[in-house]
Amino acid sequence: MDTPPKVPGLGAFLDKKNGTPKPPTPPLVSAAARLLYVAAAVQVIASIIAVVYAGSPERLDAIQLQIDAMTGEAPSLAMLRNMGILTVVISGIATTAAYVLFGLFLRKGCSWARVAAGVLVLLTVVQLLGIALPEGLTTVVQLVLGGIAVGLCYLPGPNHFFATVKAARN
C-alpha cells in the first residue's frame, strides 16, 4: 500500500502517533491559553457594545453629517449603518475565533500559535488609536491579557515545552 505524501506544516493541525509521547502541557501554557479564552470573551463584550453604538442615534447623526458632506450620489443612511454593523460583527467573530484557536493550539504545543497570538496582540495595539474610555476599556483589557499570555509562552519552561513538542513531531 502506498504511503500518503508528506505535506509540510500539516503536522501542526494533525496529531501524529509516531511513538514519541507529547509532554504534558505546563501550567504556564495552560494559563496563557485561558488568558486568550478570557480575551475572546472580552472581544464578544466589545463587539456587543460596538453593535449597540453602531445603531445608536449619536452614530446615526454622525453618519448623516458625513452623507451631507458628500458630493454627487450619496449612499443611504440605512446602508451605511448596516455596513458598519456588519463590519463590527464580522471582525468580532474573526477576532474571537482567532483568540480561541490560538489558545487551543497553544495547549497542543504548536509554536506558531504563540507567534500568531503575538501578532494578534500587536494588532490590538492598533485599536488603541482614537480610543475613547470607558468604551475602549475592553481593548486595554484584551491588550493586557494577550500580552501576559504571549509573555508566559516565552518563559523558559514553556519554551522548553514547545521545543520538546516540535522535536516529538519531527
Predicted model pTM: 0.80
- Residue 4 reports pLDDT greater than 70: no
Residue range 121-145, pLDDT digits in tens: 998 888 777 666 666 788 889 999 9
Alpha-carbon span 154 to 159, nearest angstrom: 5
Whether the bond between 5 and the residue before it is cis, its omega within 30 degrees of 0, is no
CB neighbours of residue 88 within 10 Å = 20
Q: Mind listing the pLDDT tens digit for each residue in 45-84?
A: 989 988 998 888 888 888 888 888 887 787 888 888 888 8
Backbone angles phi, psi at 165, to 5 degrees: -65, -40
pLDDT of residue 10: 61
Tell which wins on pLDDT, 146 or 130. Answer: 146
